[in-house]
Structure 1
């Protein structure tokens, strides 16, 4: 049964390829949802998938791409919507 999480990633996470990194990680972990930059410098991720897949994905998000410096990840449990069939980069 799928669960959903909203992640807010803080640090040096914009302009370093973080959204593309998250999209590749989502494909590896079979996660659907989206990633987008926020005006305050954070990155927001909506992730839906199996609990073990979400955990693996979260570990990847905490690492980030080579040029990123992830300082903090906030995690919010949310209800899965089932509206995503893939993982999108939102502008």
Structure 2
């Protein structure tokens, strides 16, 4: 089990990205949250089994739809909190 903090940049605000991330997390049984930051990036904290979390990270890194385009994803390990569920923070 591990937890990461991520900062996504690119076309990630105002395009449904947070809901998209929440859906991916729920499908992969990943816990955590996602929120917009004032500088136009999106912050994500996610926690789960290593293999599932790694697939979740790769899904985000390769996110490209007609509106969403992740140009950069910074990932760093943080302490596990045993959080349940995945929420969108305002």
TM-score by length of 2: 0.94
**Count of residues in correspondence between the two structures:** 89
Q: Is it true that 1:90 corresponds to 2:89 in the alignment?
A: yes
Q: Identify unmatched segments of 5+ residues in structure 2.
A: none
Give the aligned partner of residue 52 of structure 2. Answer: 53
Q: Secondary structure at the match of 1:77?
A: strand
Residue of structure 1 equivalent to 2:75? 75
Gaps of 5+ in 1: none
Q: What is the CA–CA distance in structure 1 between the aligned matches of 2:8 and 2:55, rounded to whole Å?
A: 16
Aligned to 2:34: 35
Runs of 4+ in 1 over 3 A off after TM superposition: none
State how far apart, in whole Å, the 1-side matches of 2:60 and 2:15 are: 13
